[in-house]
Amino acid sequence: MSLLTVESDGDLSEPTVVQSPSESSGLYIRTRGGDLTKVSIPEDSLAFQTGEALEIATGGKLRATPHCVRVGSGVANSSKISRETFALFMQPDTDQLLSPSVTFGQFSRGVFDEHYEKKTEKLILHSQQIQSTYKLDPK
C-alpha cells in the first residue's frame, strides 16, 4: 500500500481504512530519465522526499524528486474520499550557506519569486484589467 485511503462517511473520529479506490491512484515521481512512474511503498516502510535545498547542500548527492498525487479514473463515490498529508519540513537557518555563494534565505527567496511572484503579478494585472473594464473603484 503506497496510499492510506480513508472513507470519510459518518463518524470521522473512527475512520475506516479502505483499499485504494483505483490501482492508478497514488504517489507518482518523475524519474531521472523523465518518466512519470507510480511509487509503491511497502506497508512497514517510511518514505522520505528531498527538496532542492538539500540537493544543493549535498552537492547533488541527494536529488530533489518532482512528484504529484493522482486519483485514478473511474473511481466511484470519489466525493467520499479525501487525501490527507502530514508534511514535516526541515530546513537550515536562513543565513546557512547552501553553496559557497548562496544562503538558504537567498535560495528560498528565489524559489518563492519563481513560483509565486509571477502568479501574483498576473493576478494583480488581471484584477486591474477587470477594474478598468467594469470601471470599478479599487478602494
The per-residue pLDDT for 15 is 60
Sheet holding 5-7, edge to edge: 16-18, 5-7, 81-82
Asked if 55 contacts 62 with a C-beta cutoff of 8 angstroms, the reply is yes
Measured distance between the N- and C-terminal CA atoms of the chain, rounded to whole angstroms: 52
Asked if 79 contacts 38 with a C-beta cutoff of 8 angstroms, the reply is no
Asked if 5 contacts 22 with a C-beta cutoff of 8 angstroms, the reply is no
Q: CB under 8 Å to 68, separation ≥6 — which residues?
A: 27, 28, 36
Closest by alpha carbon to 82, among 95, 73, 69?
69
DSSP 10: S
The per-residue pLDDT for 37 is 93
Kindly list the averaged pLDDT for each block of 10 residues, start to end, along the chain of length 139: 52 64 82 90 82 86 87 65 70 90 90 75 72 65
